[in-house]
Amino acid sequence: MAVNARSLATGKCYATSTVVRRVLGIKGDEVTYEVRGKKARQVTWGSQATVDVATFAADADREVSADFDPKSHPNLAVRP
């Protein structure tokens, strides 16, 4: 399930099927983001990437908090 591309904003976090992505910036039709693992204990944000807005929105399942932990939200859990 995709999120609305117009709802993307710098600082917001989005869960995909495998990771959580935090938007670092949006410039034109490109989104720069960083990733962390799906467990909240993995608080270190890792690699950065830039993709087009449509791809980012299509890959994101939903907006989540930066400390999102699928164990505390079983109905919203990021799939393994």
Q: Give the phi and the psi of residue 46 in degrees, each rounded to 5.
A: -110, -130
Q: What pLDDT is attached to residue 77? A: 46
Q: What pLDDT is attached to residue 40? A: 57
Residues in the chain, pLDDT under 50: 77-80
How far, in Å, CA of 79 to CA of 16, rounded?
A: 8
**pTM of the model as a whole:** 0.82
Average pLDDT, the chain: 84
* Local structure of residue 71 (DSSP, 8 states): G
Three-class SS of residue 27?
Answer: strand
